[in-house]
Structures are given as C-alpha cells and as structure tokens.
Amino acid sequence: MALRPRPKVITLTDAAANRVTEIMEAGDGNCIGLRLGVENGGCAGMAYKLEYATEVNPLDEVVEEKGIKVMIDPKAILFLIGTEMDYVVEKLSAQFTFNNPNQTDACGCGESVMLQAAKL
C-alpha cells in the first residue's frame, strides 16, 4: 500500500521569500528563519503570529521553501495546512498576507481571522 504524500503546511511566494531574505540580511545575524503560529485574539478569533526564529524547537515543523526556513508551532499546523504566505505592497502599506484555505471568515480591519482545522 502506497503512502499518501504529506500535505505541505505552508508555501511562500517569490515576493514573500524575497522580503524575508531582505529582512534577514539586514538583521543582526542571529536569525535562522521565521517562526509562524496562530494565537487567540481579535474580533474574529485568531491572529497569525510571525517572528524571528533563532533556534528550532524540538516539536517545530520545519518547512524550507525558496531558501527560507519557517518553523511552525505544532499547535498551529492543522490551521495552516495549505497556506500560501505572500508579501503585498500597496499604495499606503506593505505586509505579509496569508492565503489560507482553512480560513472561514475575517474581521473588517484585517487583524484577525476565523480558522478551522484542515480536513485531511
């Protein structure tokens, strides 16, 4: 019996990978990648949490994409499976965005989202 391929937790667009590379090159050199998770908060229920990673925690899911290492909090994996991280520049703002198939709703201000666990 053949095993089903493991779904990718997250992918990065070229724009996101390029911006992360720029940020890391301008940093102090201690950063090995990004740490991504979700936390309770905001009016829709959850918010993405993105920060510098200086080490890999024992339970992290490590995704290497386009030369970028992303450490994913194990509690967030089921909420992030299939997510694409992008970097969008508009007239008055520039930010990382998450195109997440597990997102069911978002607040009007864009600070929080409603997520459901991925159906595997």
Residue ranges of domains in the chain = 10-115
pLDDT of res. 7: 76
Please name the residue that has the structure tokens 């940093």: 27
pLDDT bucket at 108, cuts 50 / 70 / 90: low
Q: What is the mean pLDDT of residues 76-83?
A: 90
> What is the rounded distance in angstroms from the CA atom of residue 3 to the CA atom of residue 51?
34
Phi-psi category of residue 4: left, alpha or beta, with phi > 0 → left and psi -120 to 50 → alpha: beta
Q: Is 10-115 CATH 3.30.1490.20?
A: no
pLDDT of res. 120: 59
Task: List pLDDT tens digits, range 49-69.
Answer: 999 999 999 999 999 999 999
pTM for this entry: 0.81
* Amino acid code (one letter) for 60: D
**Mean pLDDT over the full length of the chain:** 85
pLDDT of res. 117: 64
DSSP tally for the chain: helices H, then strands E = 2, 9
DSSP code at position 19: H
> What is the rounded distance in angstroms from the CA atom of residue 83 to the CA atom of residue 102?
8
Strand 94-99 and strand 83-89: the pairing is antiparallel
pLDDT of res. 114: 58
| Residues contacting residue 56 through CB under 8 Å, at least 6 positions apart | 32, 62, 71
Q: How many residues does the chain have?
A: 120
